[in-house]
Structure 1
Amino acid sequence: MSNLPPSGGDLSRLRQLNSLSTIRALRGAGSVTLSALAQQTGLSRPSTKEVVDELIAQGWVEEVPPSSGTMGRPARRYRFRTDTGHLIGVDIGAHNIRAALSDLDGQVLAETKQPVLPETPLEERLAAIERAVSGCLALSGKTMADVWTVAVGTTGIVTPTGHITYSAAIPSWTGVDLASRLREIFPCEVLIENDSRLAALAESRRGVARGSNDVVFLHVARRMGAGLIIDGRLHRGFGAAAGELGMLPQARWLEAPRHLNECALVPKDTSPEDAAGYTLAAARHGDPVALEAVSRYVDDLAVGAAALALALDPELVVLGGGFSRSADVLLGPLRERLERACMRMPEVLASTLGDECVVFGAIDYAVDHLNRQLFTANAAPLFPPPVHLSPGSSGQAPPTSTRGTG
Structure 2
Amino acid sequence: MNVPGGDSSVLRRLNTAAVLRGLRDGGEPTLTELAARAGLSRPTTEDVLADLAGRGLVTAAAARQGRGRPARRYRFHAAAGHALGVGIGAAHVGVFVADLAGEAAARHHAVLGHGWPPAERLAAVRTAVRAALAKAGVERSALWAAGAGTPGVVTADGRVARCEVLPGWAGVELGRVLGRALGRPVLVDNDANLAALAERWAGAARGADDVLYVLAGEHTGMGVVAGGRLHRGRSGAAGEVGVRPGLGLSGPADDDAMVHGIAGAALALDPEVVVVAGAGDRLMETLRRRVRPLCVTPVRIEAAELGADAVGLGALRLALDHVERDLFRV
Shared fold, TM over 0.5: yes
CA displacement 1:145-185 (0-9 Å, x = unmatched): 22222210111111111111111110120121222222232
- Structure 1 residues 11 and 339: alpha-carbon distance in aligned structure 2, compared to 1, 3 A threshold: closer
Q: Following TM superposition, by how much is the alpha carbon of 1:361 offset from its aligned partner in structure 2, in angstroms?
A: 1.0
The amino acid of 1:302's aligned partner reads V
Instruction: Please tell me whether residue 48 in structure 1 is matched to residue 1 in structure 2.
Output: no
| Aligned twin of 1:63 | 60
Q: Pick one of 357, 364, 367 that aligns with 2:320.
A: 367
Q: Which moved more, 1:136-145 or 1:155-164?
A: 136-145
Q: Pick one of 126, 129, 147 that aligns with 1:133.
A: 129
In structure 1, C-alpha distance between the alignment counterparts of 2:121 and 2:216, rounded to whole Å: 23
Q: How do 1:272-351 and structure 2 match up within 5 A? A: 296=254, 298-320=255-277, 323=278, 326=280, 328-339=281-292, 341-351=294-304
Unpaired segments ≥5 residues, structure 1: 258-295, 378-406
CA RMSD in angstroms, aligned pairs only: 2.3
Any idea what SS the aligned residue of 1:63 has?
A: strand
User: Is the radius of gyration larger for structure 1 or structure 2?
Assistant: 1
CA displacement 1:16-74 (0-9 Å, x = unmatched): 2111100111125143222221121122223222221221123221112336x777532
Unpaired segments ≥5 residues, structure 2: none
| Aligned twin of 1:397 | none
| Aligned twin of 1:146 | 142
Q: How do 1:9-24 and structure 2 match up within 5 A? A: 10-24=7-21
| Aligned twin of 1:218 | 214
CA displacement 1:206-254 (0-9 Å, x = unmatched): 3332343322111232212110122222101111100111122112433
Contact 1:119 1:172 in 2 (8 A): no
In structure 2, C-alpha distance between the alignment counterparts of 1:28 and 1:343, rounded to whole Å: 37
Any idea what SS the aligned residue of 1:123 has?
A: helix
Q: TM-score, normalised by structure 2?
A: 0.91
In structure 2, C-alpha distance between the alignment counterparts of 1:154 and 1:319, rounded to whole Å: 18
What is the identity percentage for the equivalent residue pairs of Structure 1 and Structure 2?
Answer: 40
| Aligned twin of 2:224 | 228
The amino acid of 1:238's aligned partner reads R
Query: What is the count of residue pairs matched by the alignment?
Result: 328
Contact 1:246 1:252 in 2 (8 A): no
CA displacement 1:100-154 (0-9 Å, x = unmatched): 0011122221111111122112111111111211121121112212222221011
| Aligned twin of 2:162 | 166
- Structure 1 residues 28 and 125: alpha-carbon distance in aligned structure 2, compared to 1, 3 A threshold: farther
Instruction: Please tell me whether residue 352 in structure 1 is matched to residue 309 in structure 2.
Output: no
Any idea what SS the aligned residue of 1:250 has?
A: coil
Instruction: Please tell me whether residue 253 in structure 1 is matched to residue 234 in structure 2.
Output: no
Write out the 4+ residue segments of structure 1 that deviate beyond 6 Å after TM superposition: none
Contact 1:153 1:193 in 2 (8 A): yes
In structure 1, C-alpha distance between the alignment counterparts of 2:154 and 2:124, rounded to whole Å: 20
In structure 2, C-alpha distance between the alignment counterparts of 1:54 and 1:181, rounded to whole Å: 35
The amino acid of 1:17's aligned partner reads L
Instruction: Please tell me whether residue 88 in structure 1 is matched to residue 84 in structure 2.
Output: yes
Any idea what SS the aligned residue of 1:305 has?
A: helix
In structure 2, C-alpha distance between the alignment counterparts of 1:175 and 1:10, rounded to whole Å: 45
In structure 1, C-alpha distance between the alignment counterparts of 2:145 and 2:209, rounded to whole Å: 27
Contact 1:317 1:347 in 2 (8 A): yes
Q: Pick one of 65, 69, 73 that aligns with 1:73.
A: 69
Q: TM-score, normalised by structure 1?
A: 0.75
